[in-house]
Amino acid sequence: MEEKDQQSPIQVQDLHKSFDNQTVLNGIALEVRQGETVAVMGRSGTGKSVLLKLLIGLQAPDSGSVRIRGQEIGGIEVNELSEVRKKIGFLFQQAALYDSLTIEENVIFPMSRHIRKSQNEQKERARELLASLGMEKDLDKLPSQISGGMQKRVGLARALALDPEILLFDEPTAGLDPITAAEIGNLIVDLKKQRHMTAVVVTHDIRGARAFADRVVLLHEGKILAEGRFAELRNSKDPFVSEFLRNAT
């Protein structure tokens, strides 16, 4: 038991993934420790989002290993994978809210399937979560009737609905104005403080990442080119790393 607790929640070894003969990930090894927030950065198309989807089993690797809380997720049964996924919250790039459900129903949806609570309790929990993310109003609106920033908040509330131990964020601030992007960044910092959660954040937002990330991983041509704290990366002598950090938003 003690050994399990000490295990890193996310362990990735020698991960390979290709699409139509194009190699996207080429031998990625990554370990995310308990309570750590890792920002994954890199140019568009370097497989950052693919890496996130591999971590939650939405895509299968060509080879390599992904372990969540010590459990290998490659090749396991659907119901076993579901148990693993209950421990993980995922915020999608475009929030991916169910467009036929209201905001409140979107947050209730995972709870209604996995948590044995009355409908009223689920509703109360959903409202509590939404309120904690600054969404007290417009709960009966459909996702298409609210702004992109609000959609991200609702997506985050849905990702938190099952009280996950791990959070995965796919470009949480992409497409948002600087103020809303900063608000979302602050929410991630708050979550980190309040819940001490393990998180992997794919982002291009270097200012946001500096605020919430304990460690930065820089992907380039399917491999991890550099990793470490911001200060360490800033002093890197690698021309790509220094150019990337200089030009990143």
Partner 1 sequence: MGEVLKSALEWFGELGIFCSRLVKAALTPPYEWRELIRQCDAIGARALPLVALAGAATGVVLSLETRDSLVRFGAKSFLPAIIVFSMIKESGPVITGLVVSGRAGAGIGAELGSMKVTEQLDAMEASAVDPYKYLAATRVLACTLMVPLLTIAATFCGILMGWVANTLSDPISLRLFLERGFKNVLFSDYIPPILKTSVFGVIIGLVACFQGMRTRGGTEGVGRTATSSVVLSSLFVILADVLLVRIILIIWPVS
Nearer Cβ to partner 1 (58/131): 58
Give me the least distance between CB of 87 and partner 1, in Å please: 9
SS3 111: helix
- Report the chain's terminal Cα–Cα distance, integer Å: 43
| Contacts with partner 1, residue ranges (CB under 8 A) | 53, 56-58, 78-79, 82-83, 85-86, 88, 90, 92-94, 96-99, 109-110, 113-114, 158, 161-162
Give me the least distance between CB of 81 and partner 1, in Å please. Answer: 8
Which helix (DSSP H) or strand (DSSP E) does residue 57 occupy? none
User: Given the complex with partner 1, which of 96 and 189 has the nearer CB atom?
Assistant: 96
Strands (E), 33-131: 37-42, 63-68, 71-72, 88-91
Residue 86 Cβ vs partner 1, minimum distance, rounded to whole Å: 5
The least distance separating partner 1 from the CB of residue 99, rounded to whole angstroms, comes to 7
Question: For partner 1, which is the closer residue by CB, 78 or 231?
Answer: 78
Minimum distance, C-beta of residue 113 to partner 1, in the bound complex (Å): 5
Helix (H) / strand (E) element for 215: namely strand 215-220
**Cβ nearer to partner 1, comparing 9 with 215:** 9
Closer of 56 and 191 to partner 1 (Cβ) = 56
Residues 6+ apart with CB under 8 A from 25: 15, 16, 17, 47, 50, 51, 54, 61, 222
> Alpha-carbon distance 78 to 11, whole Å?
20
